[in-house]
Structures are given as structure tokens and as C-alpha cells.
Amino acid sequence: MVRDAREEDLPAILAILNDAIVNTTAVWSDAPVDLESRHVWWRERVGNGYPVLVAVDNGKVVGFGSYVQFRAWDGYRDAVEHSVYVSPDRRGGGVGVAVVDALIARAKAQGKHVIIGGIEGSNSASLKLHRRAGFTEVGRMYEVGTKFGRRLDLVFVQKRLS
């Protein structure tokens, strides 16, 4: 089940995010974040009309996703950039697909025209998930990031919604 995140979901969201920061190249940050930062993040997103969704299985948050306007300028008002993270023990089991599908539905309902994702170039599972969801690779920026002593490529994908 995918639903809107509630404040009591933030510790689980934090755990999933910090696992991604510490153990993967999905987030290009070196240091874990704290719970207060997730409160601020959640309040800002929801307060500005953007969804924060969680995937829940047997009462446990197993993934989450959100989106915001792609860039700050008015001309980008109909383009959103999403992110999706899944608990390490549930990756590859359909949780990410469910969250992406829910974000697409929410963006369509809000009248958005395009949904965009930025994916680390060697993250074949995420690239495959997005292709299956109808996203098209629209750009690859080589070696623009660094993590774990490696240079990272950034792949942009997009899906037209209207």
C-alpha cells in the first residue's frame, strides 16, 4: 500500500535514507542526516503542495518517494523531479515500482506535464525500473559526482504525463 507520509513515518524514512547515503551511490551525500532535517524536509514539501509518499507492508514503512518542481524558475512549474528509496531488504521486490507509479499518478492529478529523475549511471536496477515505467533517458553527464572514491555519472530520465 502506498499512502501519504505522516509525521510518525519520519523515523522509518530517515533509516531508509541514511542507509542509501551510507551504503549506496543513490544519494550523493557523504554524511547521514538527522531526524530534525527530515521534519523540516517533510513540512516544506507538504506545505508547498508536493507529495511525500510511503510504501507500507504489514504496518512497516518499506519505501518512500517524493517530488518537487524541477527547477525554481516559474517556467518549470509543470516539471517535477522525483526521488524514490526502498528499504535494503525490500529492493527488487516491487516496492519502488509501486512508489513510482503512485508519484506519476499524483503528478498527473496535479496537472504536471513532465516527471524527471536523476539516477547514478551504474544503478542498473533503477534505470530498468524507470524504463519499465515509461521513462526515457534524455541525458547523461559523465563524472559529475564523486562518492566512495569514484567518479559518478548522472543520468536524467523523463516521462511525459500530458
Q: What is the pTM of this model?
A: 0.96
Find where cell 499512502 sits: 3
The confidence band for 77, taking pLDDT boundaries of 50, 70 and 90, is very high
Residue 151 neighbours by CB under 8 Å, 6+ apart: 143, 145
Length in residues, the chain:
162
**How many structural domains comprise the chain?**
1
pLDDT tens profile 87-137? 999 999 999 999 999 999 999 999 999 999 999 999 999 999 999 999 999
Q: Which domain holds residue 133?
A: 2-160
CATH of the domain at 31: 3.40.630.30
